[in-house]
């Protein structure tokens, strides 16, 4: 099993992540994550790009109740 992501690692993720990365953030195994995705039960919105699953990082952070870092350009 992969080591859980830290809050700093979560905040540094790109705009969308693959399903295994989102599963790791949620403490789920890869098999369980794909099972939930196939049945429409993954806890975050999933974007389908061809056969790939992508999860918007902003929604993943919201689900985990992690505030994004303030925008340095604002």
Domain that holds residue 15: 7-63
Instruction: Output the pLDDT for position 55.
Output: 97
Q: Is residue 2 part of a domain?
A: no
Question: Whole-number mean pLDDT of the chain?
Answer: 90
Helix (H) or strand (E) holding 52: strand 52-56
The pTM score is 0.84
- Which pLDDT value is given to residue 2? 67
Question: 41-62 pLDDT, tens per residue?
Answer: 999 999 999 999 999 999 999 9
71 falls within a domain:
no
Does residue 1 lie within any of the structural domains?
no
Judged by DSSP in three states, 11 sits in helix
Residue 28 lies in a domain: yes
Domain count, the chain: 1
**pLDDT tops 90 at residue 67:** no
């Amino acid at each position: 099993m992969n080591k859980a992501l830290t809050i700093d690692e979560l905040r540094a993720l790109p705009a969308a992540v693959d399903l295994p990365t989102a599963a790791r953030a949620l403490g789920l195994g890869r098999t369980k994550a794909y099972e939930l995705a196939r049945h429409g039960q993954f806890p975050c919105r999933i974007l389908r790009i061809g056969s790939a699953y992508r999860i918007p990082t902003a929604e993943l952070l919201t689900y985990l109740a992690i505030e994004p870092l303030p925008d340095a350009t604002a």
